[in-house]
Amino acid sequence: MGPPDPKQRFEEIYDAHYPDLLAYVRRRTDSPDDAADALAETFTTAWRRMDDIPQGHDARLWLYGVARRVLANRRREETRRSALAVRLRAELTVWAENAVEEDPDGVRAAFRRLSPEDRELLSLVSWEGLSSEEIAKVLGCSRGAVRLRLHRARKRLARELTSAGYDMTRYGSRAVALAKGQL
């Protein structure tokens, strides 16, 4: 008789130990979704490491060990994520306070008045430094469509800046022409 079929062995382990493991992770998580994720990860690990799972009653204990490590890893991830969120919130607060001081003429306000599509397009060009071809890939359209949309978005931004009293002459004749709708 050859080695046992891995799929069959996994199904037997799963059927025999699922209820106990579900109870184990439910008592240690805050939501059914968290419990389901931890249980799925535990059994995924079991599938990948079928050869490491002991026979008989010890299989349940092995699965408890895996579930315990899965839960510990999730707690560490959550702790790191929370610490990162706190740090980012602090950095963004400082940035936002400085941004108000650096934006006396209301450029940010004019930018926020644009449609979300215009803001995204202008952000991809200005902040992310993407080319028309790269933006076309991101947006799933042609390079020509990007260039046309970008031109129109720049015109709308120039008009917003002009209506906010922003001096477009400091950016040259092209900016003035955009603001007046001549380009």
User: Can you read off the two tokens belonging to residue 136?
Assistant: 């076309």
Dump pLDDT digits (tens) for 150-170: 999 988 888 888 887 777 677
- Does 27 share its domain with 59? yes
- CB contact at 8 A, 135 and 142: no
- DSSP code at position 103: -
Residues composing the chain = 183
Domain range for 75: 6-83
Global model pTM greater than 0.85? no
CATH number at residue 122: 1.10.10.10
Dump pLDDT digits (tens) for 19-65: 999 999 999 999 999 999 999 999 999 999 999 999 988 999 999 99
Task: Return contacts of 4-12, CB within 8 angstroms, 24+ apart.
Answer: 6/50, 9/50, 10/46, 10/47, 10/50
